[in-house]
Structure 1
């Protein structure tokens, strides 16, 4: 069985994933590591892979430690810009057998929502994204929304679709949300929500809304486990869990 550790195990998501790994017949949970615990525990317990659900401030040091010691990683932590991704690729070039997966979302439903949105995007003139999360979420827009916007923009470019129409000339700052690669993204932070996103597409005389709702953090566990099982066969850097799941 693969020996697995969870980094950020004391958080709400980390606790759910730790329990899921512990319950899996083919995975062996060897460590639940919190912010006060030493990364040397990974070496002491013989961890072969980790799930990192820590913070943007901690994740790069965690990954450097793991890569240098041949430990695979599934990463649900956000905050990866091109500079950070380039750094990861440099580390992985020196350790070519290690696999790292940056996963903006672990939910299978969310992955399918992103893929369906990208497939639909070239057929509609307009498209915008609304993401809705709990108010304790630190980043906005979410990593899932950023990934969705990038996939939609890529699909529209490949299909030769022009810019999304928008005649706005005056607006309060932020009224049109953030803009990612030409796609507007709106972030809501509402008590009682977990993680939700809808992609609204529009053409002449019709609209299409693709929506995904995570009602419980348990929805993130199956994707994280599937990523752990697949990562040894995918060395190097992978962006998006869908590449490991045949989506």
Structure 2
């Protein structure tokens, strides 16, 4: 994901990549994807941001590493764009506190793909019209969290317009424990992990005599880049935490 972000930023005339961080970095410089230039790279985040002094840090790591890096960046007055999934409510509260304390902007999105943002937006208004809900999310085998952050956001959005949880039938017999998937507010969530997948989310809603399905498929990582670039441009204009790309799209 880091190289995709560098390529996207490098294509924008008003943006400039300044440095990179890689825990396995064994060189002092990294060539940009288009070979037009190179930037300093290091495994030491604190040292590299003090040296390069970027305005924005873009983070696609994991939940444990993300908050550590955000603390360092915030302490240096650097705005934050976070695409790492699996962040807890406690982490989001801490990010908001960091942004307020250091007077920076912080932006977090469970998904930067415009189509995924739209399916989450649509889910917000549909829940009240249906009694049953399942979410199937499919990702590559190396994804470390299950379910995905997008699946959790979909479940929360489906529940927003309801006064009670969805109906979730309990099987009388369950020879394989967990066959109905995980559960959140009555929404069953099923996670698939295997090679050949990128990121896919399907919402299946049901009520008497009918079902409605919404599906978004990520074909490659380029789909995230317009959202990332938009977040980079907007995060420097605000103070405090903003969660969700839909806020920047006016949805």
Q: TM over 0.5, yes or no?
A: yes
Matched, 1:79 2:82: no
2:186 paired residue number: 182
Choose which of 119, 131, 150 in structure 2 pairs with 1:125. 131
Indicate if the aligned counterparts of 1:149 and 1:180 stay in contact, CA closer than 8 A: yes
Indicate if the aligned counterparts of 1:113 and 1:212 stay in contact, CA closer than 8 A: yes
1:170 paired residue number: 173
1:69 paired residue number: 76
Q: What per-residue deviation string (whole Å, max 9, x for no partner) do you get for residues 158-217 of structure 1?
A: xx3553241424323221111123311100112111000000011212111100000011
Inter-partner Cα distance in structure 1 for 2:81 and 2:199 = 19
Deviates most, 237-246 or 186-195: 237-246
Q: What per-residue deviation string (whole Å, max 9, x for no partner) do you get for residues 15-42 of structure 1?
A: 1111101111121111122124222222
Inter-partner Cα distance in structure 1 for 2:165 and 2:68 = 41
2:99 paired residue number: 92
Inter-partner Cα distance in structure 2 for 1:143 and 1:219 = 17
Inter-partner Cα distance in structure 2 for 1:219 and 1:87 = 29
Distance 1:167 1:79, change over 3 A: closer
Gaps of 5+ in 1: 1-12
Q: Secondary structure at the match of 2:72?
A: helix
1:102 paired residue number: 108
1:241 paired residue number: 245
Q: What per-residue deviation string (whole Å, max 9, x for no partner) do you get for residues 42-87 of structure 1?
A: 2322200011011222111110011111111111112211222232
2:37 paired residue number: none
Deviates most, 193-202 or 168-177: 168-177
Matched, 1:154 2:160: yes
Q: Secondary structure at the match of 2:19?
A: strand
Q: Secondary structure at the match of 1:233?
A: coil
Task: Give the Å deviation of 1:130.
Answer: 0.4
Q: Secondary structure at the match of 1:113?
A: helix
Q: Which runs of 4+ in 1 moved over 6 A?
A: none
Q: Secondary structure at the match of 2:161?
A: helix
* RMSD of aligned residue pairs (Cα, Å): 1.6
Task: Give the Å deviation of 1:105.
Answer: 0.6
Q: Secondary structure at the match of 1:129?
A: strand
Inter-partner Cα distance in structure 2 for 1:90 and 1:235 = 11
Matched, 1:29 2:33: no
Q: What per-residue deviation string (whole Å, max 9, x for no partner) do you get for residues 117-165 of structure 1?
A: 2222211111110001111111110111011111111222xxx355324
Count of residue pairs brought into register by the alignment = 231
TM-score, length-scaled by structure 1: 0.88
Distance 1:41 1:54, change over 3 A: same
Q: Secondary structure at the match of 1:30?
A: coil
Indicate if the aligned counterparts of 1:231 and 1:244 stay in contact, CA closer than 8 A: no
